[in-house]
Amino acid sequence: MSDSDLPATGLTPERIRSWLVERVAYYGKLPAEEIDADVPLAHYGLDSVYAFALCGDIEDMLGLAVEPVLLWDVDTVTALTAHLAELAAA
């Protein structure tokens, strides 16, 4: 599944989670298999610069507007997935 397919195929929690893992891996310069969805994003080196970039990705690819501060409030892939799935369902 390519990034451009996400909104067209529906934003299920599983698709959002998979996409988020890929993005965190990309920004952290790690293989996706090394991303633990329950570990804080900061553990993977996602600082404020990456938070802005990831929020831009979320808006561009998922069509959901979020503020970068969200990544400190819901600071794991699991928590962020749940939040984004809730936004997508609304």
pLDDT score recorded for residue 48 = 87
Give the C-alpha separation, 72 to 45, whole Å. Answer: 13
pLDDT score recorded for residue 1 = 46
pLDDT score recorded for residue 6 = 58
Question: Which residue's structure tokens are 């451009």?
Answer: 4
pLDDT tens per residue across span 17-60: 999 999 999 999 999 999 999 999 999 988 889 989 999 999 99
Q: Which residues contact 48 (CB under 8 A, 6 or more apart)?
A: 68
pTM of the complete model:
0.84
If you average pLDDT over residues 84-88, what whole number do you get?
Answer: 90
Q: Give the domains, in start order, of the chain with CATH numbers.
A: 3-89 (1.10.1200.10)
pLDDT score recorded for residue 11 = 77
